[in-house]
């Protein structure tokens, strides 16, 4: 209560200090002003100001034009494809990423360090190379494609291919989000649970999963958000057929190719708002969860 | 004011300024050394690798000055946008006149009538669109009419993102119009044609890779020089070039970006460089790289290399690039119509 | 030493390991093998030749410079941000975290575009820059900016969940014993988060070196000057120089693998040393 009052009454000039003193709960911890101020300043300079340009540019076009470009049937089909494949890929990654993180943290097996190093490959490999490599694997004459083709499964140049590329791109997000938390999670809680008679499955679902839940959700959200915008790798493996395998970032490039910068920013704005909403929702769910768990 | 806030702001600004300062270390300039920036499209790397040293020698002999080149290659439209957005090109050597027109109209870095500055529409060489089929031509593809047969897969890049693909599309349109006698017939033809396209790569070279390396499709619509390259080097002995009954005259243009050249003091050498492209030596290099030379003598010399194809032109048959772009490729144009209707 | 009750039986372990490895083999190992087999398909000589051309060397140099500038910037930011977020309570925290995540959700195509809109010749501050003869776009600063933007969340994102999980009891204890803020950070927090931080740095570094889309928009593609390794890969690929393209690509992959294996070795040695005290 008193916090909000203090904020409303503060003159603009002293707001940062007021925030530091009253917004947060009193703490002996030092460095709030320094770190919080720096975080905001750097965030504004590198992310917010540059990003504001696309909103400014998009605002330059009229509302009608904005809707005509940003929400055209073709754009909607592209959003559906981009968001759908990104969600599917992020789900696959949430399941298998957790499994990989678990195996890496808890078990020992030969070659574990190499496997661990391999997980970050998608970050290091230029996305275009990943796209080319995946296409050459899954094309009808590729190493894997030649076996799938006779079974009637087409991967390259379909939405399945896009999903596979996005699984590749997003995997490290999940593994690397979960891994440190899992490693930090001592075995003592599990031992306690086991001593109290919990089965292994109960321990996992009641003790481990809630602890790594936030990290897993974060990994899922980041893999998803990254997948929605991905261009370099997808462009090779998707067929780019309008309305069928045309991803949203391709539409942005298409607009640029017509020198329509405003049109490009219109699509970019719609995509960004949607991804931002998803990220915000997930971060909010986590915050609520934390509060409920009393952490 | 809070001391800590001041420190914070200083650190943030200092860090943010770091990358900017890194770029300010410009190299010392030697008055006798000239640097020429040539911003070009994708397939011309070998061509300019042959021409640049020859021109440098020519210029050294003529003026005693050394020329070095900064080459930039990429998709034609993307390169044009980069110049508009400030890439300091002295000369632009792109895939279609529309892209240089855009530099003239959107950034006024060169006069609107730039195409009159040099001979032959400022295009020192031409090319055209041909077919590339697999060895032995298993589907018996001889002309445009064969491309719309059921079961034939056609590979072409996306005209929305690739300059080369626009030439493909217009060549197909010209055939459809000639065969059917009307725009409606032409539209029906290209609709059927694009129904046979399984993949639309974003660039011309992507399409060639799809066709050659991935083994997808029965016929590739390609620049003549690309088709030769694929036939003679990339997949030696696996492909055959087929010349259709009608195609389009592609004129990749060159221009001095006068505002930039003026700023760099390179107007004279930039102009001489582009004019050098019309000399017999450069024209021979052009022909060696499978482009059609303009010089009649060199053309005669390489006559057997290029098939004789009747060709339409963009200016006469389509009313120029600005109109063609708007009618066919901009949002809501013919291409959108034929690919979204089911 | 194994505690039976908190571990799966060996069979389950093997099944889970097998499942994870199969998944990784299909999605990570095979593409990697494809890259290396293309790169080495014509023999090692061709591979070495391809990575030693002047253009390739210039691209490697530029990539290393870009990473050397952008990674430290993001490390400083990441530590500051995660300290503020995990050690204090303030309203709008979810929003702040989401804003930090934002660059992940921005399409690489757009991340390049925003800097063109800002610094390009027709951009918001472009004309001013041109007047003062400052070059950002199509030069090194533009590439650094785009890279910092793309890799912005990596370190922070690695540290936030970790520091949240660890809480602030250790720091509070140190402070109550009379340590200063910096001492607490250096001697308590940093050792606690060092592996997470190292992960963050390595990921940030890998991504900074591998970024293609955004850099492609702001680079200008001038050979030997503003081409980074990923851009050079694309150019070689577009020139049908597949061996060269995959050679440079495999070099990038190799760089990442080497740093990561080095990290694992470090971790392992550290465990060995500290293991005695436990």
Per-residue pLDDT of A155-213, as tens digits, reads: 888 999 999 999 999 998 899 888 878 887 777 777 888 888 888 788 888 888 888 88
What domains does chain A contain, in order, with CATH numbers? 63-292 (1.10.3720.10)
pLDDT at A149 over 60: yes
User: Rounded CA gap, A94 and A86, in Å?
Assistant: 12
Whether the Cβ atoms of residue B246 and residue B312 lie closer than 8 Å to each other: yes
Give residue C15's pLDDT: 93
Q: Which secondary structure element, helix H or strand E, spans residue B126, and what is its range?
A: strand B125-134
- The CA R_g of chain A, rounded to the nearest whole Å, is 23
State the best of C77, C116, C121, C148 to mutate against chain B, taking most chain B CBs within 10 Å: C121
Distance from CA of B249 to the nearest CA of C (A): 24
Which CA distances in Å does C180 have to A138, B5, B6, C159, C174?
58, 19, 21, 22, 8
Whether the Cβ atoms of residue A221 and residue A278 lie closer than 8 Å to each other: yes
CB–CB contact A259 B198 (8 Å): no
- The CA R_g of chain C, rounded to the nearest whole Å, is 23
Residue range C247-262, pLDDT digits in tens: 998 888 888 777 777 7
Between residues C43 and B184, which one has the greater pLDDT?
B184
Chains with at least 3 CB pairs less than 8 angstroms from chain A: B, C
CB–CB contact C255 A124 (8 Å): yes
In 3D, which of C256, C236, C255 has the Cα closest to residue C245?
Answer: C236
Distance from CA of A88 to the nearest CA of B (A): 23
CB–CB contact C256 A123 (8 Å): yes
Whether the Cβ atoms of residue C101 and residue C152 lie closer than 8 Å to each other: no
Of the ranges B75-79, B309-313, C103-107, C210-214, which is most confident? B309-313
Give residue B158's pLDDT: 92
Distance from CA of B88 to the nearest CA of A (A): 19
pLDDT at A7 over 60: no
Give residue A248's pLDDT: 92
Q: Which residues of chain A does C269 touch, with a Cβ-Cβ cutoff of 8 Å?
A: none
Contact A43/C at CB under 8 A:
yes
Which of A50, A124, A286 shows the shortest C-beta gap to C115?
A50
Which of B18, B72, B107 shows the shortest C-beta gap to C121?
B107
Q: Which residues of chain C does B19 touch, with a Cβ-Cβ cutoff of 8 Å?
A: 69, 140-141, 144-145, 148
CB–CB contact B200 A239 (8 Å): yes
CB–CB contact A254 B161 (8 Å): yes
Which of C100, C105, C249 shows the shortest C-beta gap to A126?
C249
The residue of chain A nearest to residue C39, with distances taken between CA atoms, is A133
Between residues C26 and A289, which one has the greater pLDDT?
C26
Contact C179/A at CB under 8 A:
no
Beta-bridge mates of residue B69 = B36
Which CA distances in Å does C252 have to A163, A164, C24, C147?
24, 22, 19, 16
Which of C126, C144, C148 shows the shortest C-beta gap to B86?
C126
Which of A53, A124, A214 shows the shortest C-beta gap to C206?
A124
Contact A34/B at CB under 8 A:
yes
CB–CB contact C134 B203 (8 Å): no
Beta-bridge mates of residue B134 = B239
Distance from CA of C274 to the nearest CA of A (A): 16
Distance of CA A49 to the CA centre of its chain: 21
Give residue B9's pLDDT: 57
Q: Which residues of chain B does C78 touch, with a Cβ-Cβ cutoff of 8 Å?
A: none
**Tokens standing for residue C5:** 């009750």
- Sequence-ordered list of residues with C-beta below 8 angstroms from that of C133, at least 6 positions apart, any chain: none
Between residues C241 and B271, which one has the greater pLDDT?
B271
CB–CB contact A252 C97 (8 Å): no
Beta-bridge mates of residue B248 = B312
Q: Which residues of chain C does A170 touch, with a Cβ-Cβ cutoff of 8 Å?
A: none
State the best of B331, B336, B340 to mutate against chain A, taking most chain A CBs within 10 Å: B331
User: Rounded CA gap, B46 and B66, in Å?
Assistant: 21
Sign of CA dihedral B82, A53, C232, B157: negative
Between residues C204 and A17, which one has the greater pLDDT?
C204
pLDDT at C151 over 60: yes
CB–CB contact C7 A106 (8 Å): yes
Place of tokens 């943030």: B12
CB–CB contact B2 A17 (8 Å): yes
Q: What is the largest CA-CA distance in chain A?
A: 72
Chains with at least 3 CB pairs less than 8 angstroms from chain C: A, B
Which of A125, A168, A252 shows the shortest C-beta gap to C109?
A252
Which of B23, B42, B86 shows the shortest C-beta gap to C140?
B23
State the best of A129, A194, A219, A284 to mutate against chain C, taking most chain C CBs within 10 Å: A129
Q: Phi, psi at residue B177, to the nearest 5°?
A: -70, -40
The residue of chain B nearest to residue C68, with distances taken between CA atoms, is B19
* Choice among A45-59, B6-20, C106-120, C182-196 with the minimum mean pLDDT: B6-20
Contact C13/A at CB under 8 A:
yes
CB–CB contact A181 C162 (8 Å): yes
Average pLDDT for residues C79-86, to the nearest whole number? 93
CB–CB contact C137 B19 (8 Å): no
Give residue A282's pLDDT: 84
The residue of chain B nearest to residue A259, with distances taken between CA atoms, is B81
Which of C73, C120, C242 shows the shortest C-beta gap to B85?
C120
CB–CB contact B331 A260 (8 Å): yes
**Which of the four pLDDT bands, split at 50, 70 and 90, describes residue C1?**
very low
pLDDT at A15 over 50: no
CB–CB contact B216 A242 (8 Å): no
Mean pLDDT across chain C, nearest whole number? 86
Which of B2, B102, B201 shows the shortest C-beta gap to A33?
B2
Q: What is the largest CA-CA distance in chain C?
A: 72
Average pLDDT for residues C200-207, to the nearest whole number? 86
Strand order, beta sheet including B91-93: B66-74, B33-41, B91-93, B254-256
Mean pLDDT across chain A, nearest whole number? 84
In 3D, which of C184, B3, C237 has the Cα closest to residue A30?
Answer: C184
- Sequence-ordered list of residues with C-beta below 8 angstroms from that of A42, at least 6 positions apart, any chain: B12, B15, B16, C77, C80
Between residues A225 and A20, which one has the greater pLDDT?
A225
Give residue A275's pLDDT: 86
CB–CB contact B331 A242 (8 Å): no
pLDDT at A283 over 60: yes
Whether the Cβ atoms of residue A145 and residue A155 lie closer than 8 Å to each other: yes
Q: Which residues of chain A does C91 touch, with a Cβ-Cβ cutoff of 8 Å?
A: 3, 23
Residue range B95-111, pLDDT digits in tens: 999 999 999 999 999 99
Place of tokens 């990339």: B234
Q: Which residues of chain A does B198 touch, with a Cβ-Cβ cutoff of 8 Å?
A: 157, 239
Distance from CA of B183 to the nearest CA of C (A): 35
Distance from CA of B186 to the nearest CA of C (A): 32
Tell the burial category of A177 from Cβ atoms under 10 Å away from its Cβ (0-12, 13-18, 19+). Answer: buried
User: Rounded CA gap, B41 and B44, in Å?
Assistant: 6
SS3 B80: helix
Give residue C277's pLDDT: 36
Q: Which residues of chain A does B103 touch, with a Cβ-Cβ cutoff of 8 Å?
A: none
CB–CB contact B161 A156 (8 Å): no
Chains with at least 3 CB pairs less than 8 angstroms from chain B: A, C
Q: Phi, psi at residue B312, to the nearest 5°?
A: -90, 165
Give residue A122's pLDDT: 86
Residue range A100-118, pLDDT digits in tens: 999 999 888 888 878 887 8
Whether the Cβ atoms of residue B244 and residue B146 lie closer than 8 Å to each other: no
CB–CB contact C102 A47 (8 Å): yes
Distance from CA of B71 to the nearest CA of C (A): 6
* Residues of chain B predicted below pLDDT 70: 1-31, 341-342
């Amino acid at each position: 209560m008193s916090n909000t009052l203090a904020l409303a009454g503060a003159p603009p000039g002293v707001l940062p200090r007021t925030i530091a003193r009253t917004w947060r709960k009193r703490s002996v911890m030092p460095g709030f002003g320094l770190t919080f101020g720096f975080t905001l300043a750097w965030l504004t300079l590198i992310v917010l100001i540059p990003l504001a340009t696309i909103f400014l540019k998009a605002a330059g076009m009229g509302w009608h034009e904005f809707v005509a470009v940003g929400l055209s049937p073709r754009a909607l089909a592209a959003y559906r494809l981009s968001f759908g494949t990104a969600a599917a890929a992020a789900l696959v990654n949430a399941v298998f990423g957790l499994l990989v993180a678990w195996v890496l943290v808890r078990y020992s097996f030969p070659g574990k360090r190499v496997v661990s190093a391999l997980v970050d490959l998608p970050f290091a490999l230029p996305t275009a190379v990943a796209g080319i490599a995946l296409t050459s694997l899954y094309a009808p004459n590729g190493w894997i494609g030649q076996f799938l083709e006779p079974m009637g499964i087409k991967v390259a140049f379909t939405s399945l291919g896009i999903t596979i590329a996005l699984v590749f791109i997003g995997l490290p997000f999940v593994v690397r989000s979960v891994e440190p938390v899992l490693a930090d999670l001592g075995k003592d809680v599990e031992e306690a649970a086991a001593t109290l008679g919990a089965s292994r499955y109960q321990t996992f679902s009641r003790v481990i999963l809630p602890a790594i839940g936030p990290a897993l959700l974060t990994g899922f959200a980041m893999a998803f958000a990254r997948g929605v915008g991905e261009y370099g790798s997808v462009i090779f493996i998707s067929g780019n057929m309008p309305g069928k395998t045309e991803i949203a970032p391709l539409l942005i490039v298409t607009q640029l190719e017509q020198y329509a910068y405003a049109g490009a920013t219109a699509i970019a704005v719609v995509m960004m708002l949607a991804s931002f909403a998803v990220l915000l929702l997930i971060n909010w769910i986590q915050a609520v969860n934390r509060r409920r768990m009393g952490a | 004011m809070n001391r800590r806030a001041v420190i914070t702001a200083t650190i943030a600004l200092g860090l943010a300024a770091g990358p900017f300062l890194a770029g300010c270390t410009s190299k010392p300039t030697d008055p006798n050394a000239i640097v020429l920036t040539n911003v070009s499209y994708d397939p011309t790397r070998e061509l300019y690798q042959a021409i640049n040293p020859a021109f440098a020698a020519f210029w050294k002999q003529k003026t005693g000055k050394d020329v070095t080149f900064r080459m930039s290659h990429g998709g034609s439209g993307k390169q044009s946008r980069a110049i508009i957005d400030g890439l300091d090109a002295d000369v632009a050597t792109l895939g279609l006149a529309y892209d240089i027109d855009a530099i003239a109209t959107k950034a006024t870095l060169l006069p609107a009538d730039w195409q009159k500055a040099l001979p032959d529409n400022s295009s020192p060489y031409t090319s055209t669109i041909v077919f590339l089929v697999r060895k032995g031509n298993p589907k018996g593809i001889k002309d445009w009419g064969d491309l719309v047969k059921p079961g034939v897969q056609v590979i072409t890049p996306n005209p929305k993102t690739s300059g080369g693909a626009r030439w493909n599309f217009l060549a197909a349109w010209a055939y459809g119009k000639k065969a059917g006698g009307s725009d409606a017939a032409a539209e029906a033809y290209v609709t059927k044609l694009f129904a046979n396209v399984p993949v639309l790569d974003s660039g011309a070279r992507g399409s060639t890779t799809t066709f050659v390396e991935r083994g997808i499709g029965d016929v590739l619509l390609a620049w003549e020089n690309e088709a030769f390259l694929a036939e003679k080097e990339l997949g030696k002995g696996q492909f055959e070039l087929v010349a259709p009954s009608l195609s389009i005259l592609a004129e990749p243009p060159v221009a001095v970006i006068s505002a930039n050249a003026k700023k760099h003091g390179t107007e004279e050498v930039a102009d001489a460089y582009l004019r050098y492209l019309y000399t017999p030596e450069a024209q021979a290099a052009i022909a060696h790289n499978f482009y059609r030379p303009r010089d009649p003598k060199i053309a005669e010399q390489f006559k057997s290399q290029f098939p004789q194809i009747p060709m339409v032109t963009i200016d006469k048959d389509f009313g120029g690039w600005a109109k063609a772009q708007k009618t066919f490729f901009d949002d809501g144009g013919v291409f959108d119509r034929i690919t979204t209707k089911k | 030493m194994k505690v039976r009750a908190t571990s799966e039986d060996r069979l389950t372990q093997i099944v889970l390991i097998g499942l994870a490895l199969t998944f990784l083999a299909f999605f990570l190992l095979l593409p990697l093998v494809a890259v290396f087999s293309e790169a080495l398909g014509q023999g090692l000589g061709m591979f070495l030749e391809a990575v030693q051309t002047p253009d390739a060397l210039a691209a490697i140099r530029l990539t290393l410079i870009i990473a050397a500038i952008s990674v430290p910037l993001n490390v400083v930011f990441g530590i500051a941000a995660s300290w503020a977020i995990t050690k204090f309570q303030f309203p709008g925290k979810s929003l702040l975290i989401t804003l930090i995540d934002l660059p992940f959700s921005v399409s690489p195509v757009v991340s390049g575009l925003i800097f063109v809109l800002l610094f390009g010749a027709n951009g918001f501050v472009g004309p001013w820059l041109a007047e003062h003869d400052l070059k950002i776009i199509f030069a090194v600063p533009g590439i650094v900016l785009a890279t910092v933007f793309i890799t912005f969340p990596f370190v922070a994102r690695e540290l936030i969940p970790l520091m949240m999980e660890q809480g602030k009891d250790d720091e509070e204890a140190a402070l109550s014993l009379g340590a200063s803020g910096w001492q607490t950070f250096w001697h308590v927090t940093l050792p606690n988060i060092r592996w997470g931080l190292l992960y963050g740095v390595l990921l940030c570094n890998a991504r900074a070196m591998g970024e293609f889309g955004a850099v492609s928009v702001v680079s200008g593609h001038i050979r030997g000057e503003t081409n980074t390794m990923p851009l050079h890969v694309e150019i070689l690929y577009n020139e049908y120089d597949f061996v060269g393209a995959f050679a440079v690509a495999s070099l990038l992959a190799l760089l990442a693998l080497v740093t990561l294996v080095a990290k694992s070795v470090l971790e392992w040695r550290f465990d060995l040393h500290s293991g005695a005290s436990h």
